């Protein structure tokens, strides 16, 4: 192991970190709801107790309060990505303006407006229903931490300004004046680009809202199979009591990066493990050493990037960078702890904030990011239009999953809507190659991305992927 000061601080700081998700590791975690007690029927079956499923159930009830909505979750609400993410609630539906403007130039104005409306609607729900989501409308900073990120960050700023975003540029002294990191070279603040929140509390609050709206919500109830039956769908579910059947008119699948019951989705969504650290709360003196009075969510300009933010009790969440795809697309609890990724993150943390030497991490965890080759979700229907899905937010789904759920509900109506007419909704992403080719291709792409981050040059492989508008990201 390297004996640089940051490597030593990192090892010490990680020594007592709990291998658990900070957000859900709290005594006020709600008790589990009971599993579905027997066979049943409903108008709409929603599968998945993450943001997509919760918003689908809530919006279905808001559209038609008389509809019988049943939401099932294989384990517990917020056990998936929704309860273990960075808590950045971004306005973007397109994995950032840069990607959206390049991929859907003819629709980006519309997508931007839909994204801002979506973020406003989430905030309005939080406020109206007094959800204790620790919501902070902070905006977000994009910072450059290497010479070849400067140009990308500047170009992104210019693009945001061109599209009328409320942005502010900072050169080196300015950006370090906002947040005192010796790694910062320049950056910009996007004031309306994102809020930060406690994602598990947001999900729990949405589940409680769904209860109040009359949604029947059952945890520890897993969808096993779907089949067309008459004008509806028969869903076979597994609970501790064995197999049960639900007859539903319609189904929304919000199962994200988990092995999908609709096998066709396997071609399009990869589970990519991303890792996160949480520090102990900073003292007033430690906070004073880094500034950060605006409490913005922060990301750097690398393709392998770090994201970080303050929590309501002044911890720093620090995640990203070292995303890993595991052979065969495995999703399992054992993959959530990865010593090398956590150690690398901890080292990078002290490079960014050397003045915090001595600060320790309280929690370390990981989770599967729902990655598509175009970095935005994929939508569609199956079984004669009675099953709709919204999956694959590629690490930016805390906000956009509300919109994704609305798209799935729109698709079930069979009528064109403003959402369903969008190219991003109508077209599928390019599929990933199947295993055993998938793993080496993803590994090679990752290496090329790392090389591009250190040299500033895209290389032939990434240039080729760029030409087809496809890639690999988290
Ligand atoms: C480490 C990490 C950091 C991230 N940071 C951010 C961030 O800061 N900002 C951001 O916008 N996005 C972030 N993301 C991505 C974001 O969390 C997701 O895009 C979003 O939560 C997706 O919500 P979802 O409801 O679609 O999926 P999930 O929250 O994963 O929910 C899917 C649910 O379906 C259930 N399920 C699966 N299969 C079945 C079945 N057969 N039967 C019943 N239930 C089933 C699962 O148990 C799970 O609870 C991050 C993700 C990770 C992993």
412 with 253: CB under 8 angstroms? no
Instruction: Verify whether ligand 1 is closer than 6 Å to residue 256 (CB atom).
Output: yes
Calculate mean pLDDT across residues 32-39. 96
Helix axes 199-213, 51-63, angle to 10 degrees: 30
What residue's CA is closest to ligand 1, atom 16?
Answer: 397
Answer yes or no: is pLDDT of 289 > 70: yes
Q: Find tokens 């300009």 and name the residue.
A: 301
Instruction: Verify whether ligand 1 is closer than 6 Å to residue 411 (CB atom).
Output: no
Q: Output the CA 312–ligand 1 centroid distance in Å.
A: 22
Answer yes or no: is pLDDT of 457 > 90: no
Instruction: Verify whether ligand 1 is closer than 6 Å to residue 193 (CB atom).
Output: no
Q: Output the CA 357–ligand 1 centroid distance in Å.
A: 33
What mean pLDDT, rounded, does the chain reach? 95
Answer yes or no: is pLDDT of 471 > 80: no
Q: What is the DSSP letter of 220?
A: S
What residue's CA is closest to ligand 1, atom 48?
Answer: 80
Instruction: Verify whether ligand 1 is closer than 6 Å to residue 203 (CB atom).
Output: no
Instruction: Verify whether ligand 1 is closer than 6 Å to residue 372 (CB atom).
Output: no
Calculate mean pLDDT across residues 132-151. 96
Confidence of residue 1 (pLDDT cuts 50, 70, 90): very low
Answer yes or no: is pLDDT of 182 > 90: yes
| Contacting residues for 278 by C-beta, under 8 A, at least 6 apart | 22, 311, 315, 316, 317, 318, 361, 362, 363, 364
What residue's CA is closest to ligand 1, atom 19?
Answer: 397
- pLDDT for 391: 97
Q: Is 267 helix (H, G, I), strand (E, B) or coil?
A: helix
Q: Parallel, antiparallel, or unpaired: how do β-strands 361-371 and 270-279 relate?
A: antiparallel
Q: Over the range 403-432, which residues count as b (16 or more CB within 10 Å of their CB) and which as e?
A: bbbbbbbbbbeeeeeebbebebbeebbbbb
The model's pTM = 0.96
- pLDDT for 474: 61
In the chain, the percentage of residues whose pLDDT exceeds 70 is 99
**Cβ neighbours of 151 (radius 10 Å):** 12
What residue's CA is closest to ligand 1, atom 11?
Answer: 396
Q: Parallel, antiparallel, or unpaired: how do β-strands 242-253 and 387-391 relate?
A: parallel
What residue's CA is closest to ligand 1, atom 9?
Answer: 88
In the chain, the percentage of residues whose pLDDT exceeds 90 is 86
Among the listed ranges 42-46, 87-91, 301-305, 397-401, which one has the minimum average pLDDT value?
A: 301-305
Among the listed ranges 43-52, 238-247, 427-436, which one has the minimum average pLDDT value?
A: 427-436
Instruction: Verify whether ligand 1 is closer than 6 Å to residue 399 (CB atom).
Output: yes
Q: Output the CA 398–ligand 1 centroid distance in Å.
A: 8
Instruction: Verify whether ligand 1 is closer than 6 Å to residue 392 (CB atom).
Output: no
Instruction: Verify whether ligand 1 is closer than 6 Å to residue 35 (CB atom).
Output: no
What residue's CA is closest to ligand 1, atom 18?
Answer: 397
pLDDT digits (tens, 9 = 90+) for 290-342: 999 999 999 999 888 999 999 999 999 999 998 889 988 889 999 999 999 99
- pLDDT for 468: 76
pLDDT digits (tens, 9 = 90+) for 216-274: 999 999 999 999 988 899 999 999 999 999 999 999 999 999 999 999 999 999 999 99
pLDDT digits (tens, 9 = 90+) for 334-370: 999 999 999 999 999 999 999 999 999 999 999 999 9
Atom of ligand 1 nearest to the CA of 73: 44
394 with 269: CB under 8 angstroms? no
The whole-angstrom separation of Cα 353 and Cα 298 is 13
Q: Output the CA 81–ligand 1 centroid distance in Å.
A: 3
**Residue among 21, 57, 395 whose CB has most ligand 1 atoms within 8 A, to mutate:** 395
Q: Output the CA 396–ligand 1 centroid distance in Å.
A: 10
Structural tokens at position 446: 């990752």
**Residue among 196, 309, 365, 398 whose CB has most ligand 1 atoms within 8 A, to mutate:** 398
Of 468 and 280, the structure prediction assigns the larger pLDDT to 280
The whole-angstrom separation of Cα 292 and Cα 294 is 5
Atom of ligand 1 nearest to the CA of 89: 11
Instruction: Verify whether ligand 1 is closer than 6 Å to residue 404 (CB atom).
Output: no
The whole-angstrom separation of Cα 9 and Cα 279 is 13
Instruction: Verify whether ligand 1 is closer than 6 Å to residue 50 (CB atom).
Output: yes
């Amino acid at each position: 192991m390297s004996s640089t000061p940051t490597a030593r601080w990192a090892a010490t700081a990680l020594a007592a970190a709990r291998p658990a998700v900070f957000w859900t590791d709290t005594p006020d975690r709600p008790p589990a709801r009971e599993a579905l007690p027997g066979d049943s029927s409903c108008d709409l079956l929603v599968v998945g107790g993450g943001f997509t499923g919760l918003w689908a159930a809530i919006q279905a009830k808001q559209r038609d309060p008389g509809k019988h909505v049943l939401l099932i979750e294989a384990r517990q609400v917020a056990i998936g990505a929704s309860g273990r993410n960075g808590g950045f609630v971004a306005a973007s539906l397109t994995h950032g303006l840069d990607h959206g403007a390049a991929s859907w130039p003819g629709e980006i104005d519309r997508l931007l407006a839909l994204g801002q409306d979506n973020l406003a609607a989430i905030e309005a729900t939080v406020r109206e229903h007094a959800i204790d989501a620790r919501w902070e409308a902070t905006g977000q900073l994009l910072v450059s931490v290497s010479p070849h990120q400067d140009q990308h960050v500047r170009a992104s700023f210019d693009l945001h300004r061109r599209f009328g975003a409320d942005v502010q540029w900072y050169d080196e002294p300015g950006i370090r004046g906002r947040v005192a990191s010796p790694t910062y070279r320049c950056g910009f603040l996007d004031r309306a680009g994102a809020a930060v929140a406690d994602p598990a509390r947001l999900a729990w609050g949405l589940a409680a809202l769904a209860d109040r709206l009359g949604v029947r919500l059952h945890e520890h109830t897993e969808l096993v199979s779907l089949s067309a039956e008459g004008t509806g769908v028969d869903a076979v579910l597994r609970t501790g009591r064995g197999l049960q059947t639900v007859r539903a008119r319609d189904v929304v699948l919000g199962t994200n990066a988990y092995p999908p019951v609709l096998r066709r989705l396997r071609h399009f969504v990869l589970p990519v493990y991303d890792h996160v650290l949480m520090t102990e709360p900073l003292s007033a003196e430690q906070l004073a050493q880094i500034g950060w009075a605006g409490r913005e969510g922060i990301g750097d300009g690398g393709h392998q990037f770090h994201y970080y933010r303050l929590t309501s009790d002044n911890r720093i969440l620090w995640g990203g960078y070292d995303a890993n795809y595991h052979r065969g697309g495995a999703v399992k609890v054992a993959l959530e702890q990865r010593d090398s990724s956590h150690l690398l993150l901890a080292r990078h943390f002290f490079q960014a904030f050397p003045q915090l030497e001595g600060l320790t991490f309280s929690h370390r965890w990981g989770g599967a990011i729902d990655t598509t080759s175009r970095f935005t979700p994929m939508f569609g229907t199956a079984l004669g239009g009675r099953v709709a899905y919204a999956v694959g937010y590629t690490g930016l789904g805390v906000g956009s999953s509300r919109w994704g759920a609305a798209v799935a509900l729109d698709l079930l109506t069979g009528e064109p809507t403003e959402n369903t007419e969008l190219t991003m909704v109508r077209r599928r992403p390019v599929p990933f190659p199947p295993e055993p080719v998938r793993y080496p291709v993803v590994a090679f792409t990752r290496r090329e991305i790392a090389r591009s981050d250190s040299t500033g040059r895209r290389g032939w492989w990434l240039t080729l992927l760029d030409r087809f508008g496809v890639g690999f990201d988290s």
